[in-house]
Structure 1
């Protein structure tokens, strides 16, 4: 059995790389001899990191040749079908699906987050393609509602994000021990986002308050140098000392660092997911509906939206303190929410394997 994986892979974004890692792990757990080829922006890195085959995601001729020999295409996960960060995503990912469909290959849409989709043409393209895929699964209720609103009649399965299937307690890191922290620490995941609101100053103020109340502050850059830059920017706004974990640390190490923290204050979705699978409480700062959706699934608070000026530093610290006031209960409640999702996350791969067999 040979499958092709299409997604935002090879761009060194920890969240999307964690999705790829999770899907590969899940597929191999159900079928150890499965052949996997990834469409990657950095094929050499992908092959070396995940021990799979990879080709250039932009080489259309090679993709046609690959799909002719493959048994099927997996599209996802991640937020692939959206037009908020640019106009190329929907044409690209639906184009890859169309290649597979033209060659009569089954297509499995794997735990994707859909939208936002603002342009009428993109809604039509998405509807047309999604109505013809073999298996359609999304990671949250908002994504399913969006597809139904734009006219998708295909059956839509609601499944957890694939990263939820990772066993966080099997990962470790040496970085934390080397820092010799004398106090418990709070992990922080931030990203740049266009906004008229000075949300970075609000975050810096909250982190200063938390530092003064007895916590060390550790930034975890999720998207390589991009988030490293934003982390340094916010750290520079702080009056108190903070640390920044290596931006090029492996996925497993970043999960482990977040898991050792008291709590995460996070913007990046997969930082929140890393926190959830580690049963570490989190306070989210939202820039996208997917953040609100996942926080709701885990019953963890959203302190504010980075494009809205109706929250402040005190809202972040208040929600952090509320979660940590009875941490034992907070962790227990989070575990009760997350554990069923961790079990269910690997079933998506099982469904794909079964329908390809």
Structure 2
């Protein structure tokens, strides 16, 4: 059998967030499929759940002693993917991820920043600490060009920086028959074309709810569709989805009320004609399945991703106006067949780019 290649992965795992769950699923699949004799351990908020779902080892991310011991025994420390290195959420989370990388380097471990979206980082000391650790790690792959530009502005001079793609592009959706059963279980009819909406709480969320409800009423009346509100992070997204449902004036809007796997959500999105979405990975799921989209921008990463896939149809989350949103929805709806073809071509390219993360991790492990 030979010696195990021990890889430790750090990220926002075990928090019931579909986007981060998708990242972990993709990374684990790709590492298992491309590296022989690999043993993967993940730092998770919910280790027992992570072990059960992903069939890997997991350690409580808040158990400092266990984390240190696991770092000491690994061959490669992976930070990512996702938006770990930013201080919009909090300085505390940024320092947590920086500290883990510093610890790994202290124990002379190979460290890879894996398909990260980096920034914004606004605090002066936060920028200094981030630059210092990123100059010390062995390899950095980034999911978008905006992150590379941000590292230039941060004056990170690590020679091993590459723009690839989000790992989620390598995932495959659930089979159609299972998706049909899910829709039946949720009492969502398939008698009309389906349009998806995926929202999260943000500043000015009351205004967002009112204007999204008006936009949904518009598309239901004008295009004769059914609308599915798709939560990505439980329970927060379910709450705002239900608020929108309470505001709409039609009987063709439904909430996906139960929690589903990453692959299931991808399969559901694949059945849509288009999606209006806030969370990055709802947009990535759509792009990977060739589904046109309108983005609701609450963070620069949303705008950056939409531009990277040539889907320049977006509205700001704060101060959103339903007329502006309706205008974007109508454009995407009218051009959806052409947009689907463009996205299908792009998806093949993004899959190849996403797999480069794994190939580079393998090369680093073998050095």
Would the alpha carbon gap of residues 170 and 75 (structure 1) be closer, same or farther in structure 2, given more than 3 Å must change? Answer: farther
Would the alpha carbon gap of residues 68 and 196 (structure 1) be closer, same or farther in structure 2, given more than 3 Å must change? Answer: closer
Give the match for residue 234 of structure 1: 244
Question: Does residue 195 in structure 1 map to residue 199 in structure 2?
Answer: no
- Give the deviation of 1:197 after TM superposition: 7.7
Partners of 2:172 and 2:263 within 8 A in 1:
no
Question: Does residue 351 in structure 1 map to residue 360 in structure 2?
Answer: yes
Residues 258-269 of structure 1: matches in 2 within 5 Å? 258-269=269-280
Spell out, residue by residue over 1:52-105, the C-alpha distance to the aligned partner (whole angstroms, 9 max, x if none).
000000111111111121101000010001111112111100111111100000
Would the alpha carbon gap of residues 303 and 279 (structure 1) be closer, same or farther in structure 2, given more than 3 Å must change? Answer: same
Over the aligned positions, Cα root-mean-square deviation in angstroms equals: 1.5
Question: Does residue 175 in structure 1 map to residue 182 in structure 2?
Answer: yes
Give the match for residue 304 of structure 1: 315
Equivalents in 1 of 2:204, 2:322: separation in Å? Answer: 17
Question: Does residue 116 in structure 1 map to residue 120 in structure 2?
Answer: yes
Spell out, residue by residue over 1:151-196, the C-alpha distance to the aligned partner (whole angstroms, 9 max, x if none).
1000321010111111337574221245333211101100000138
Q: 2:86 aligns with which of 74, 82, 87?
A: 82
Equivalents in 1 of 2:189, 2:211: separation in Å? Answer: 28
- How many residue pairs align between the two structures? 355
Give the match for residue 164 of structure 2: 159
Equivalents in 1 of 2:357, 2:89: separation in Å? Answer: 27
- Give the deviation of 1:199 after TM superposition: 2.1
Spell out, residue by residue over 1:203-257, the C-alpha distance to the aligned partner (whole angstroms, 9 max, x if none).
1110110111211110110001110001001111111131111341111111111
- Give the deviation of 1:321 after TM superposition: 2.3
Give the match for residue 233 of structure 2: 223
Equivalents in 1 of 2:258, 2:326: separation in Å? Answer: 25
Partners of 1:165 and 1:344 within 8 A in 2:
no
Where in structure 1 are there 5+ consecutive unaligned residues? none
Q: 2:105 aligns with which of 101, 104, 112?
A: 101
Partners of 2:274 and 2:336 within 8 A in 1:
no
Equivalents in 2 of 1:331, 1:169: separation in Å? Answer: 19
**TM-score, reference length from structure 2:** 0.93
Equivalents in 2 of 1:181, 1:120: separation in Å? Answer: 52
**TM-score, reference length from structure 1:** 0.96
Q: 1:256 aligns with which of 267, 276, 292?
A: 267
Equivalents in 1 of 2:173, 2:306: separation in Å? Answer: 19
- Give the deviation of 1:320 after TM superposition: 2.2
Would the alpha carbon gap of residues 37 and 244 (structure 1) be closer, same or farther in structure 2, given more than 3 Å must change? Answer: same
Residues 254-333 of structure 1: matches in 2 within 5 Å? 254-307=265-318, 309=319, 312-333=321-342
SS at match of 1:349: helix
Question: Does residue 136 in structure 1 map to residue 152 in structure 2?
Answer: no
Where in structure 2 are there 5+ consecutive unaligned residues? none
Would the alpha carbon gap of residues 81 and 207 (structure 1) be closer, same or farther in structure 2, given more than 3 Å must change? Answer: same
